[in-house]
Structure 1
Amino acid sequence: MPEIITIGDAMVTMNPLRRGPLRFSDTFERTAGGAELNVAIGCARLGLSTGWISRLGKDEFGRYLKHFAQGEGIDMSHVSFSQHAPTSVNFKEINEDGSGRTFYYRHPSPITSLKANDIADRWFGSAQIFHMTGVYPAIHPEHRAVMMELLKKAKAHGVTVVMDPNIRLKLWDADEAKETLTSFLPYVDVLLTGDEEGELLFETQVPEEIAAQAQAYGIHTVAVKMGAQGSFAKRKDQQHYCSARKPRKIVDTVGAGDGFDAGFIYGLLKGLTLEETLTFANTIGSMVVSVSGDNEGLPYLEDVLAILNEEKTIER
Structure 2
Amino acid sequence: MTSNFGVFTLGDAMITMNPAVKGPLRFVSQFERKVGGAELNFAIGCARLGLRSKWVSRLGKDEFGRVIDHFARGEGIDMSDVHFVEGYPTSLNFKEIREDGSGKTFYYRYQSPILTMKPEDITASMFEGINLVHITGVYLAIDPQNMQIIMRVVQIAKEKGLAISFDPNIRLKLWTIEEARKAYFELFPYVDILLTGRDEIRLILGEDSEEALVSLAEKYAIDQLVVKDGANGSKLYTKGTWHEKEAFSVEAVDTVGAGDGFDAGYIYAFLNDYSCEERLVFANGVGALATTVSGDNEGLPYLEEVFPFIRQEAVIER
Length-normalised TM-score, structure 2: 0.95
1:275 to 274, 277, 281: 277
Deviation at 1:237, TM superposition (A): 2.4
Letter in 2 for 1:205: D
Contact 1:78 1:119 in 2 (8 A): no
Contact 2:5 2:271 in 1 (8 A): no
1: CA distance between counterparts of 2:270 and 2:230?
21
Deviation at 1:215, TM superposition (A): 2.9
Q: Does 1:72 align with 2:58?
A: no
Deviation at 1:39, TM superposition (A): 0.4
Letter in 1 for 2:299: G
Mapping for residues 130-279 of structure 1, pairs under 5 Å: 130-207=133-210, 209-247=212-250, 249-279=251-281
Deviation string 1:166-200 (CA, Å, 9 cap, x unpaired) is: 01000000101001111001111110001111112
Deviation string 1:45-90 (CA, Å, 9 cap, x unpaired) is: 0000010000000000000100100000000001001113100000
Length-normalised TM-score, structure 1: 0.95
> Matched residue of 1:76: which SS?
coil
Letter in 2 for 1:224: V
User: After the TM superposition, which of the residue ranges 197-206 and 33-42 deviates more from structure 2?
Assistant: 197-206
Contact 1:125 1:157 in 2 (8 A): no
> Matched residue of 1:67: which SS?
helix
Deviation string 1:136-180 (CA, Å, 9 cap, x unpaired) is: 010011111111111111111111000000010000001010011
Contact 1:198 1:205 in 2 (8 A): yes
Deviation string 1:249-301 (CA, Å, 9 cap, x unpaired) is: 11111001000000000011100001000000001111111111000000000
Alignment-derived partner of residue 97 in structure 1? 100
> Matched residue of 1:90: which SS?
strand
1: CA distance between counterparts of 2:5 and 2:277?
27
> Matched residue of 2:79: which SS?
strand
Deviation string 1:217-267 (CA, Å, 9 cap, x unpaired) is: 0111110011111111012123211101111x1111100100000000001
Deviation at 1:214, TM superposition (A): 2.4
User: After the TM superposition, which of the residue ranges 203-212 and 31-40 deviates more from structure 2?
Assistant: 203-212
The answer for unaligned runs of 5 or more in structure 2 is 314-318
Q: After TM superposition, which residue ranges in structure 1, 4 or more long, deviate above 6 angstroms? A: none
2: CA distance between counterparts of 1:280 and 1:49?
18
Contact 1:254 1:294 in 2 (8 A): yes
The answer for unaligned runs of 5 or more in structure 1 is 312-316
Contact 1:207 1:232 in 2 (8 A): no
Alignment-derived partner of residue 65 in structure 2? 62
User: After the TM superposition, which of the residue ranges 106-115 and 117-126 deviates more from structure 2?
Assistant: 117-126
1: CA distance between counterparts of 2:109 and 2:254?
22
Contact 1:239 1:274 in 2 (8 A): no
What's the Cα RMSD here?
Answer: 1.4
Deviation at 1:203, TM superposition (A): 2.2
Q: State the aligned residue count.
A: 310
